[in-house]
Chain A
Amino acid sequence: MKMRRFVSMLLTGVMALSIAGCGSTSAPASSDAGTDTNATAAATEAPAETTTDTATATTDSGEQIDLTMWCIATESDSNRHAYEAAIADMQAAHPEVNFTWEAFENQSYKTKIKAAVSANELPDIFFTWSCAFLGDFVDAGKVYCLDDAYQNYKDELPEVMLGNTTYNGKHYGVPTTMNIVGLFANMDLLKEAGYDEIPGTYDEFIACCDALKAKGIIPFGCAGKETWCVTEYLESVIEKSAGADTLNDIFLGRATWNNQDVADAVDTFQALVTNGYFDPSGIGLTNDEVKNNFMAGKYAFYMNGTWNCADFAANEEFFPKVRVSEFPVINADKAKLGQLIGGPSDTLAVSASSPNAEKAADYAFELGKLICHYGYLDGCGLPAWTPYGDTSSVNELTKAVAEICSKADTYVLFGDTAMNADSANTYLSYVDQVYGCLLDGKQFIEGLSKDIQ
């Protein structure tokens, strides 16, 4: 009973999402039901045919096909187990598919996948980030359109979840999990400073940081060597100061960066840095190192993606100490609770050049569903697909994240995913300089509005 309430709660959350589409190529957010049904109706005829085709092809010929997949679920990735389990299930269910897969380290993968796109050497199925990252490949016509295949899965995969991988009204990606930025706290350390709960207002939160500092505990850990970790903090501060819509408009290019609210928010963030709330050695560390420091009790707070729930849950000693919460509201006039950073980003896509694209598309959907299922059970994120089966084993932390999402009002996708590659990197380089206090809020907005057109 308890479980059902939980699932339905989750679903309401999901349905309430107003995930914006991305970039100029995307259709206006797919919340407009009228146009959607039209499009689906128009498309149903063709897919009906293709599905029967696929069915006959698999049954009567039983012919072996090869499918390859590239992803970033390396040994150290928290999604590794979900991928392994999902792939094992798929291999058992589809003996006619000779499936091979390779995992690469995150940073090298970005290099590889782009080189592969330029050379038309994409594998049949590949992992990608949604929005702009995939958008560039879609623009170049390298990605197979999944509209037909989606018809078979639309009952299990809500269409709102495809918002970030929809370009010109066509679907190109299979989302697996969705994640938001969470404020993780080590309750043992908070208790030392006299707090039993994660403070709910910004003033209390700052008071808590001061109390921690007075006790000699570093409030925040943040990996300066990987700028996206800094954005997890900065974007939350901007969103909770200037409001989700403002930030969304800027990320999607509907408004310029030249916005005084953003400048003030950046100054607020920088005050956190200059007040010494951040670990000074963090600047020379990678995210893995910072995360391990957090688990070892070096920091009170750690703001990062909720995919970390899996790693925290796997650490028996640490897990009882950690709680997750939403970043408090800084300016209640413009922002409110329920405005979150995140959304479905991890995506599987099918290469347009794949000789078996049609089958690969079906395979990608089934595989995505299983990865989502196992990933959810492991705590790697919230499911983009409707959960099924027994989900009572999901860890408390992930359930807490689901609770936060169920009250969600607006989602703003991670800035470096929402923007195109060039702008995203310009943005990251400015964020880097803000973190290093080389620029203040005013210089930040002026520089960005000049360098990003």
Chain B
Amino acid sequence: MESYTLKESKPILKVFVYIFLGIWAIINLFPIYFMFTFSLKSNEEIFGSNIIGLPKHWLWSNFTSAMKTGNMGLYFFNSLLVTTLAIGISLMAALMACYAITRIRWKLSGLANAFFMLGLTIPIQASIVPVYVILSKAHWLNKYSTLIVPYSAFALSMGILICTGFMSEIPMALDEAARIDGCGLFGTFFKIILPLMKPAFSTVGVYSYLQCWNEFMFANVFISDSFHRTLPVGIKALSGAYTTDWGPIGAALVIATFPTLIVYIFLSGKITSSFIAGAVKG
């Protein structure tokens, strides 16, 4: 790898590349920095002279109000719980469906795959009222599972798409060998395929996370008690409460963002290599 890089013939070009990457990195980091600093400032500082500098007085009290009035701690926990479980369920369902589609030979497997791929283009808003009616008839509102189930369904298609990429890399010979050893279809799946699919987990996880963590519309309509509220709804409510007091809003935004960013920074190496391993095959 390095040797390949060293073959760079025009150093000026290389400098330009780094300047370009550096500028884009700043464009990406600056809003995050801006959010962090204004979360610790008072309005005088934000509206006054010190709009982008580090805070002169570190106002941690903004975080206290976001946690107390805005209940951000609870909402963060709720989002985390809902997202994690939704990822788990969609991952399992996707792996199983993918196994049936790619590893077992049957006539309609292509059709089944195409059917699941429909989900990639369906807008989530389109199904909100019918789903709401079904859930309410089943007395299934205001629970964590009210959100977990629809979220898993919406993450499913992307999960299957990614798993297909990974699963097609596993040689069919493994299945055949397992079959000869007396493993049934179920045994093959749980003992052979599942352990080999581990690298796929983080890729599917990241994509499902993106869908579940951000979701606002379902969370707003399906959950009517504040105990089960998720972060996006909580932030919207808080931003109404503090329209002109930017500090606590900033603090809420930081609470909603930084933990995941930190986790990501620690796992990014692993996540990237898993992405490379299972590049979407189209």
Min C-beta distance of B139 to chain A, whole Å: 9
Which listed segment binds A: B3-11, B12-20, B129-137? B129-137
Contact flags B120-142 to A (C-beta < 8 A → 1, else 0): 00000000110011011100010
Contact partners of B220 in chain A: CB under 8 A: 108, 111-112
Contact flags B200-222 to A (C-beta < 8 A → 1, else 0): 00000000000000000000110
Bound form: Cα–Cα A112–B142 in Å:
13
Is the CB of A89 closer than 8 A to any CB of chain B?
no
Is the CB of B28 closer than 8 A to any CB of chain A?
no
Is the CB of A120 closer than 8 A to any CB of chain B?
yes
Set A75, A100, A112, A119: member contacting B69, Cβ < 8 A: A75
The answer to whether A286 and B69 have CB atoms under 8 Å apart is no
Contact partners of B128 in chain A: CB under 8 A: 115
Is the CB of A98 closer than 8 A to any CB of chain B?
no
The answer to whether A74 and B240 have CB atoms under 8 Å apart is yes
Chain A: how many interface residues by the 8 Å CB criterion? 23
Contact partners of B236 in chain A: CB under 8 A: 105, 108
Bound form: Cα–Cα A292–B242 in Å:
11
**Count of CB-CB pairs between chains A and B under 8 Å:** 55
Contact partners of A120 in chain B: CB under 8 A: 136
The answer to whether A118 and B133 have CB atoms under 8 Å apart is yes
Bound form: Cα–Cα A74–B238 in Å:
10
The answer to whether A289 and B244 have CB atoms under 8 Å apart is yes
Closest to B137 in A: A119
Closest to A70 in B: B224
Contact flags B231-249 to A (C-beta < 8 A → 1, else 0): 0010011001111100000
Contact partners of B224 in chain A: CB under 8 A: 70, 102, 104, 112, 116, 123
Closest to B134 in A: A119
Bound form: Cα–Cα A141–B225 in Å:
25
Bound form: Cα–Cα A112–B218 in Å:
10
Is the CB of A32 closer than 8 A to any CB of chain B?
no
The answer to whether A292 and B136 have CB atoms under 8 Å apart is no
The answer to whether B133 and A75 have CB atoms under 8 Å apart is no
Min C-beta distance of B32 to chain A, whole Å: 24
Set A105, A116, A292: member contacting B240, Cβ < 8 A: A105
Is the CB of A76 closer than 8 A to any CB of chain B?
yes
Contact flags A108-126 to B (C-beta < 8 A → 1, else 0): 1001100110111101000
Is the CB of B168 closer than 8 A to any CB of chain A?
no
Assess A102 versus B225: contact at CB under 8 Å? Given A112-B220, A121-B141, A292-B244: yes
Closest to A75 in B: B241
Contact partners of A292 in chain B: CB under 8 A: 243-244
| Residues in A90-142 with C-beta less than 8 Å from chain B | 100, 102, 104-106, 108, 111-112, 115-116, 118-121, 123
The answer to whether B132 and A119 have CB atoms under 8 Å apart is yes
Contact partners of A75 in chain B: CB under 8 A: 69, 237, 241
Is the CB of A60 closer than 8 A to any CB of chain B?
no
Set B129, B141, B241, B242: member contacting A118, Cβ < 8 A: B129
Is the CB of B257 closer than 8 A to any CB of chain A?
no
Contact partners of B244 in chain A: CB under 8 A: 288-289, 292
The answer to whether B132 and A115 have CB atoms under 8 Å apart is yes
Set B69, B136, B241: member contacting A121, Cβ < 8 A: B136
Closest to A293 in B: B244
Is the CB of B226 closer than 8 A to any CB of chain A?
yes
Assess A289 versus B221: contact at CB under 8 Å? Given A75-B69, A118-B129, A119-B133: no
Bound form: Cα–Cα A116–B132 in Å:
8
Contact partners of A74 in chain B: CB under 8 A: 237, 240-241
Name, among A115, A118, A292, the residue most crowded by chain B CB atoms within 10 Å (CB to CB).
Answer: A115
Contact flags A402-437 to B (C-beta < 8 A → 1, else 0): 000000000000000000000000000000000000
Closest to B136 in A: A119
Bound form: Cα–Cα A100–B224 in Å:
12
Contact partners of B242 in chain A: CB under 8 A: 76
Contact partners of B233 in chain A: CB under 8 A: 108
Assess A76 versus B133: contact at CB under 8 Å? Given A111-B221, A112-B220: no
Contact partners of A104 in chain B: CB under 8 A: 224, 237
Bound form: Cα–Cα A288–B226 in Å:
23
Contact partners of B137 in chain A: CB under 8 A: 119
| Residues in B132-179 with C-beta less than 8 Å from chain A | 132-133, 135-137, 141
Bound form: Cα–Cα A288–B132 in Å:
31
Contact partners of A121 in chain B: CB under 8 A: 136, 141
Min C-beta distance of A33 to chain B, whole Å: 42
Bound form: Cα–Cα A111–B225 in Å:
15
Bound form: Cα–Cα A108–B135 in Å:
19
The answer to whether B226 and A115 have CB atoms under 8 Å apart is no
Contact partners of B133 in chain A: CB under 8 A: 118-119
Minimum-distance CB pairs A-B, first 9: A119-B136, A288-B243, A76-B241, A121-B136, A292-B244, A75-B241, A119-B133, A105-B240, A115-B221
In the assembled complex, 10 residue pairs joining A and B whose CB atoms fall closer than 8 Å, in A order, are: A75-B241, A100-B225, A104-B237, A105-B237, A112-B224, A115-B128, A118-B133, A119-B136, A120-B136, A121-B141
12 more CB-based (< 8 A) A-B contacts, given A74-B240, A289-B244: A74-B241, A75-B241, A102-B226, A105-B236, A105-B237, A106-B240, A112-B220, A115-B128, A115-B221, A118-B133, A119-B136, A120-B136
